[in-house]
Amino acid sequence: MTTSHSLAAEALVAGYAERAVLEGVDLAVPPGKITAIVGANACGKSTLLRAMSRLLSPREGQVVLDGKAVHRMPAKALARTLGLLPQAPIAPEGITVADLIGRGRHPHHGTFTRWSRADDTAVAAAMEATKTLDLAERAVDELSGGQRQRVWIAMALAQETDLLLLDEPTTFLDVAHQVEVLDLLVDLNASRGTTIVMVLHDLNLAARYADHLIALAAGKLHAAGPPQAVLTVETIRHVFGLDSQVIRDPVSGAPLMLPIGRHRLAAG
């Protein structure tokens, strides 16, 4: 379970139709750690995640997993090592929580294989980890936003991948549920050694929960490293075009960014 895989992007250029969103990105994901990708709107965060998980073919460069180019690996083999939770997955109408989580087992099945004990165990473990056992028989449509996100994460866990990529797992959640989801990811990282890469909107939560921050600006890598090194006044000015102050978060000890606008500034 704790085998650490290496995932890296090499001179990656990717985008949609005529527009290149990523313009040559080199980065390495530290194995067994939590990495957060941050940046302004439309800087290519989601594109990077999609390219790393093979959803998007790169135009130039490549994404390398354990020395092999991701885009040349068979789809199911890759899906057994690297999981991705997209931003807006769709729950089929009326499906129960247990069945939806079971869908995570797809890459472990061929055309004619039958459901096995290993499948049930993986689903059970995913439900335990995400505390979704009580919801097992409920329809996914009826759940609250926070519960639903836990169920989707459970599905990704049932996939039993050593690498898990998440595209904005906390959007549309209130602050309590955001913290709950991020705590859950830290648990996973600690108990299973899963390498986690996520796109996060909230800089301060990213700095608190991630071991490694990647800051993108205009399709290029601007800074990467531990939060203390990346979340600086200069980086924020370059990436977001915003003046700020960075202080030490009294709760976690991570850096905490306070934006400076044009108004409501304390005298002096």
Partner 1 sequence: MTAAPSLTGTTADWVALGRRRRDGRRRTVAWGLGALLLGLFALTLMLGQSFIPPGDVLRVMLGQDVPVASFTVGTLRLPRATLSVVAGLSFGMGGAAFQTMLRNPLASPDIIGISFGASAAAVIGIVFFGLSGGAVSTFAIAAGLGVALLIYGLSFKGGGAGARLILIGIGMASMLESVIAYALQKASSWSHAEAMRWLAGSVNGATWGEILPAALALVLFGGVLLTRARDLETLRLGDDAAAALGVRVAWTRITVLVTAVGMIAFATAAAGPIAFVAFLSGPIAARITGPGRSLLIPAALTGAVLVLLADYVGQFALPSRYPVGVVTGALGAPYLVWLIARSNSGGGAS
Residues in touch with partner 1 (CB under 8 A): 16-17, 50, 53-55, 75-80, 83-96, 98-99, 102-104, 106-107, 109, 111-112, 115, 117, 120-121, 123-125, 127-128, 133-134, 136-137, 139, 141-142, 159
Q: How far is the CB of 255 from partner 1 (least distance, A)?
A: 32
DSSP 30: P
Euclidean distance between CA atoms 163 and 195, whole angstroms: 5
Nearer to partner 1, 41 or 112 (CB): 112
Nearer to partner 1, 48 or 84 (CB): 84
DSSP 250: T
CA atoms within 13 A on the CB side of 228: 5
Q: How far is the CB of 44 from partner 1 (least distance, A)?
A: 16
Q: How far is the CB of 116 from partner 1 (least distance, A)?
A: 10
Q: How far is the CB of 5 from partner 1 (least distance, A)?
A: 16
Q: Are 173 and 145 in contact (CB under 8 A)?
A: yes
Helix (H/G/I), strand (E/B), else coil: 179: helix
Q: How far is the CB of 261 from partner 1 (least distance, A)?
A: 36
Nearer to partner 1, 122 or 207 (CB): 122
Sheet holding 195-199, edge to edge: 82-85, 163-167, 195-199, 34-39, 212-217, 220-225
- Tell me the two tokens of residue 29: 């994901």
Nearer to partner 1, 77 or 229 (CB): 77
Nearer to partner 1, 80 or 222 (CB): 80
Euclidean distance between CA atoms 172 and 181, whole angstroms: 12
